[in-house]
Amino acid sequence: MLLVPRVTSLNPSIDGLAARFGRAFESPREQRLQQLIHDRTRLLAAVFEHSQEGITVSDRNNNILTVNEAFTRITGYTEEEVVGKNPRVLASGRHDKAFYDAMWESINTRGYWKGELWNRCKNGDVRPKSFSISVVRNDDGEIVNHLAIFSDITDRKLAEERIEFLSHHDALTRLPNRILTRDRFEQAVAKTQREQTGIGVLFVDLDNFKYVNDSFGHQAGNRLLVTSVGRLKQFIRETDTISRQGGDEFVIILPDIKESAAVERVASQILVNLAWPFEIEGYSIGISASVGISFYPAHGRDFDALLQNAEAAMYAAKAAGKNGYRVFSEEMNADALDKLKLKAMLRLAIDKREFYLVYQPQFDLSTQRLIGVEALIRWHHPEEGVIPPGRFIPVAEESGMIGEIGEWVINEACRQGREWFDAGIGPFVVAVNVSTQQFVNGAILRTVKRVLERTGFPPQFLELEFTESGLLSDIRNSLTTIEAVRALGVKTSIDDFGTGYSSLSYLQQFKVERLKIDQSFIRAIGANAEGMEIVRAIIQLGKTLRLSVIAEGVETELHLQTLKKLGCDEAQGYLFSRPLTVPDLMKFINEGKGASLL
């Protein structure tokens, strides 16, 4: 008994066979039965042959009876080369006896097995495949056939490996990121407690790095960062950890410290070595560094406290004239007073309506159409001037004011969007960033409902951008919230993708519409070969999950052309436009400046 007939029997001769069956049946009922058999046989043959997944049918002894065309395309073996043989001809040697014993235990007792197998193709390549193996039984319950369906998942595996690397390393420098650094710090603490030693934490910031970026461009800046890492590594041991925290900031963990003077010597060596001019793209570029130092356990017993104190010491070194180091002291906690002042100013800013929004255009790279804008908050204090979001948003989150500020942003963006809609401008999507704090107790859902009712803005033109790390901080709540928001008709996306601790399984569950590639990855394009491969992996992942992919921070023609070549769907960045006020945005749209760049 075969579930799927041999391919050689499913040719035009089937029509003659069906005709002979037809002559044997005389009654209309028998003729209809004959036609059903004919149609079903042809359908099974079509499914078998045209399936994009490889299929093998084997007998009770697991000798191959037939395979489809996809099998040959994936493995390289023709039907003639494998019929009569056991599927173990494809074995890669990567799986041990225990693996196969468990697989056959499932097949023989449960009737099926599903999992991943590494098989060897005819050309010798060993590639991963996703398998589903089932049995076919006769009327007596005996196994008569085995049916295996599989697909090549090499591209998916490569994407997973790249994303896994990204989740623990910086894209540009390939150094550990904060997550991996925290883990190594905790391992060092365990050893320190056993051996009664200490840990030194160095926070290194390159002085005047912004000047290098502005004067020589981001590509030169990236090369400077990579070269700086090489110099920093000269003074650390194999047991030490150097990581990039973002921008031009690095953190070094020095475990097993017996005296503080040893850490200060490392800091001095770093300062001397970084002070030597860098030869970048034909230019001799001179920089310096400011270094802050904190010690475990004297200045804190957890990673966050030590990092904060080392950073405070670094700022003290900058304030003292740069190109130096400082060891943390309690007097450096003046930053805490600044936060208190900022909190008070924030409360007044809400009451006095000191916030406003600017909008950065977003473009479809294939149609050259303006498809949306990202709404970004700005704060103009009457005395302090413009206060950047990076300074006040963390304070707003810490103080609990982010909910009120976040609702104002969504309301203002929707109000403005409705005004454009009524004026016949657009329609296009208005994207708004959502803080992790707004997830608490379904606050964001209630906010969106109120705003949509209040403004009358069509929900399909509102997009909420959630940060990757924010979503994964509370999986269950995130899934529930996103599902409820999408039920309102509102679009959802993941912002700064690749900077958190991505999980592909969770990414599939979130059911968002769009991934936004973090600008740090875009800036890596052209700096090294890995830069483009990382962006390629994220775009490929988006296509695999049927998500649109937008790149932020597109600043050069190289960025744009590379993204087009890699199949990125959408983009935003200074190459097209800086964030604009409403009047400037209207002028930008009317003059069609953005599309002309594409």
- Nearest alpha-carbon partner for 359 in 340, 382, 343, 375: 375
- Between residues 65 and 503, which one has the greater pLDDT? 65
Q: Give domain 161-328's CATH architecture.
A: 2-Layer Sandwich (3.30)
Q: What is the mean pLDDT of residues 158-162?
A: 76
pLDDT in tens, 418-437: 999 999 888 899 999 998 77
- 235: DSSP letter: T
Pull the structure tokens for residue 51: 């399936």
Pick the most confident of 5-19, 204-218, 384-398, 447-461.
Answer: 447-461
Q: Is the pTM of this model over 0.85?
A: no
Q: What is the mean pLDDT of residues 569-584?
A: 94
Q: Phi and psi for 251 in degrees, rounded to 5?
A: -125, 135
CA angle 462, 466, 471 (to 5 degrees): 140
DSSP 482-544: HHHHHHTT-EEEEEEETSS---HHHHHHH--SEEEE-HHHHHTBTTBHHHHHHHHHHHHHHHH
Q: pLDDT value at position 504?
A: 59
Task: Decide if 7-158 and 161-328 have a common fold.
Answer: no
**Domain locations in the chain?**
7-158, 161-328, 400-590
Q: pLDDT confidence of 173, banded at 50, 70, 90?
A: confident
Q: pLDDT value at position 576?
A: 93
Q: Fill in the amino acid letter for 575.
A: L
Q: pLDDT value at position 466?
A: 87
Instruction: Provide long-range contacts, Cβ within 8 A and 24+ apart, for 61-70.
Output: 62/86, 62/87, 62/146, 65/2, 65/6, 65/145, 66/2, 66/4, 66/5, 66/6, 66/7, 68/7
pLDDT in tens, 511-552: 889 999 888 888 888 776 666 787 888 898 888 888 999 999
Q: pLDDT value at position 596?
A: 54
Query: Cα–Cα distance between 135 and 111 in angstroms, integer?
Result: 5
Between 275-279, 364-368, 396-400, 582-586, the lowest mean confidence (pLDDT) is in: 396-400
Q: Evaluate whether 520 touches 185 at the Cβ level (below 8 Å).
A: no
Strands 462-467 and 429-434: parallel
Average pLDDT, the chain: 84
In the chain, helix, strand, coil percent, each to 5? 50, 25, 25
Q: Is the pLDDT of residue 499 over 60?
A: no
pLDDT in tens, 12-38: 444 444 444 445 445 666 666 666 666
- Nearest alpha-carbon partner for 298 in 201, 204, 205: 201
Query: Cα–Cα distance between 594 and 570 in angstroms, integer?
Result: 13
3-state class (DSSP) for residue 108? helix
- Taking the alpha carbons of 396, 400, 404, 409 in that order, is the dihedral positive or negative? positive
What percent of the chain shows pLDDT beyond 70?
85
Query: Cα–Cα distance between 167 and 186 in angstroms, integer?
Result: 18
Q: pLDDT value at position 284?
A: 78
Q: Is the pLDDT of residue 501 over 80?
A: no
Q: Is the pLDDT of residue 1 over 50?
A: no
Q: pLDDT value at position 563?
A: 94
Q: Evaluate whether 204 touches 289 at the Cβ level (below 8 Å).
A: yes
Q: pLDDT value at position 205?
A: 92
Helix axes 178-195, 303-319, angle to 10 degrees: 110
Query: Cα–Cα distance between 311 and 127 in angstroms, integer?
Result: 46
Between 14-28, 458-472, 577-591, the lowest mean confidence (pLDDT) is in: 14-28
- 7-158: CATH number: 3.30.450.20
Q: pLDDT value at position 47?
A: 63
Q: pLDDT value at position 17?
A: 41
Q: What is the mean pLDDT of residues 63-78?
A: 90
Q: Which CATH number fits domain 400-590: 3.90.180.10, 1.10.3080.10, 3.20.20.450, 3.40.50.720?
A: 3.20.20.450
Q: pLDDT value at position 35?
A: 63
pLDDT in tens, 199-226: 999 999 998 787 777 667 788 888 999 9
- Between residues 486 and 168, which one has the greater pLDDT? 486
Q: Evaluate whether 355 touches 401 at the Cβ level (below 8 Å).
A: no
pLDDT in tens, 231-261: 988 878 888 999 998 889 999 999 988 888 8
pLDDT in tens, 550-559: 999 999 999 9
Between 79-88, 290-299, 405-414, 585-594, the lowest mean confidence (pLDDT) is in: 585-594
Q: pLDDT confidence of 355, banded at 50, 70, 90?
A: very high
Between 152-156, 340-344, 474-478, the lowest mean confidence (pLDDT) is in: 474-478
Q: pLDDT value at position 34?
A: 67
- Between residues 593 and 90, which one has the greater pLDDT? 90
pLDDT in tens, 301-329: 899 999 989 988 898 888 777 889 999 98
Q: pLDDT value at position 594?
A: 56
